[in-house]
Chain A
């Protein structure tokens, strides 16, 4: 079972994160200071750490993270912060964080991002040239896509959108994650625009009458069903 450590000082937030992660099927541990978090993270083998930036007692989130990385612990870390600035985000990632989520956040966003971090860790590091999901094939070298052997014509952006979904096949990918990964910008309020892009992609991918491969996850994002 996937084990996640939460380092967060607000008990109510801890309770909610624990509940959300538990529902998602993770085993969850928590602590409320950086010092204790550091000890636990170093001593036990967690699969991921959810770390609040603001922590009481001298050692804050980034300090703890930097110490952890210096000690050679490479557990993926997702930073939670009330600070939303781009430079804050950069500081967080530079200190050794793997992802950065600004409070307030949707729990579906949190679990989706944790899934990505966990997958990244377990995935083989070699470069893939071919992505497969069910009847869908994507050749990353020739930039071609086939559904059940038939070629699908995609625009460059649609190709990247599908690539992102295929890399995380079977996992929820939120609209913000898609936006950040495919368009390379942060902050977008107009997430409904992404729905339109997905709609176009769907029409190209799915033959008439077939069950759509890209499913909408209500209030969260999309999931590409490998079984489709």
Chain B
């Protein structure tokens, strides 16, 4: 212990001698550790830390049906079938998160509600703190209505009184307005009393959404609450949450379900959908998957950064070892064995890592919040991201161990070469295994991360210069709130309302044009889709988004017509389609006069006849990398009630908002303004995650490349310093300064060659992998790898120039006299 204390004390002294370099080594390690810790905390929150309050929550798994872009809920029949038959799932329950209204002192009060199927309390097993879970009888459709409440609801409405059990919650039925030719009738005024039978543990605030107050048996409540009219088994409304069988992975569950129920349309599997499974309770399946991909990518990058930093510090410690030759010689002379000296050097290295770890964890407290706010990582899915989670801290501890070993490696391995007897006799210095390994790792990692940065920047340039096929420099979109009261599906009334709004807004000074539409570039809302079939093959069907847009919409947004024109102000039977739809259905773009081929029109039904009068270029409503969807525009439909207003004017958004609000306050306009945005800004926001990702990667790459260059420089400098006698001999034999400089450059390039080859190869692989979802297929791995190769060669060359100059300036005379 005394020896360890002495080593520690000496380590402090050693680092104090070169405070600048020591602080830099600590800073480099701390920065990389902070990055690893931050991304580990995000990863743990998303995927590692089980949801508190559920028994053996690590076994829970969420099951959905998805088309790869959006996940959809399951039907009761599907859940029941899987629950009974699956070999990879011990059980599967369904949860329908909704909002219901309860009576509170005569007032309708909204409350978050989860309707759960019978296996929920049996198998998902949320912890009950008071009362009992639902039993078999509670799930009987004709059973007595019962409910379980959350701890928060108990506290708020019952003051945590024990007599809550048996109390009644009065729940409203669905609020619907039914219209017929004879008039309107309102339903949903009926109520049902639910008896409280249990209270959940405080840590359970909802299975899928925070803020759930009441749980009810789905089978009993579905018909009353949802008006499902006996159809509750077929409606795809339930999120599947199950318990995996022992040893079953997500992939195994996925494979089994796809194999067993791939064609289960009769049980409620939707067309074009397939099963997917993910560990844990997943609220937004696709978003969570995307977040996980991003977090894992940057976590891997951070770990690589930490490895480079460790190699760098290791080489830094080795490079300063020659300066300590005398100290080590004295220690050996007084009897210190090599092992003891190795321990001393390891203690010094570990001290550096330990200080960096403390600093890194402190920085990560801020960094965790910062990265979570980056546009590509913003999400409501984050629950409680914290560094102080045993999984995060455990993994960091393991990483620290690896880093400590790495940091100690070079100086300890180099110790034997630096022994006084060896050192005094040494003439030359060639890179040892540790130096070669560390140098190669550094350069290769710099190649990989540099390659990723090039790929991301390439992609960013590609999407930044992408032509979205619209032009609206002075166009604002006024996002109005949804209509209040019953939905108005009278098209004449909607058109009348639209024209009133147009006239009123056009009268505002500075307003040049006004138009209306459901979607604008940057905000695509497919509110109404219909099934259509290819004219040549009725079996070839697709979902088509029908977008209500007024006649001025196309001109205002600068949409380009490749054929035909926009429909007129009074024209309700003509439509405009995009090229994607024209090609998909007719395999050509000149489709004027064609009629939209609706699918599955029952015999005898008088289907609308929509004739195409114009074809526009495909407009990028979303991300530039998205494939354009088939779209058709029509003058009006019932969803036009949700349309937004487009205003062309050369004044600011704030001024427009003031003018509109004045009209609203005066009663001239009848909507609420959610927000007003410039259309082009709105669209460009779609690539802000790409910008943030590219910036983060480039930042990391700059850091890694700088570290690699610094480390490589340190190695070369060390080798030249340790081998200066060789340069002196060569100088004495006639090697001029240029020849000595060239020799060092050659040796530097030879040392960097394995890193160059490996880095180039790994960069190629990394970019090829990144093309699968992170960047576009237009990014060429070969070109990026070539750039990486050139970059690494330049890096190695630049990092060797200094040592080469040092070798050039070798003064042979004093060195050749050394004994």
- Do they bind each other? no
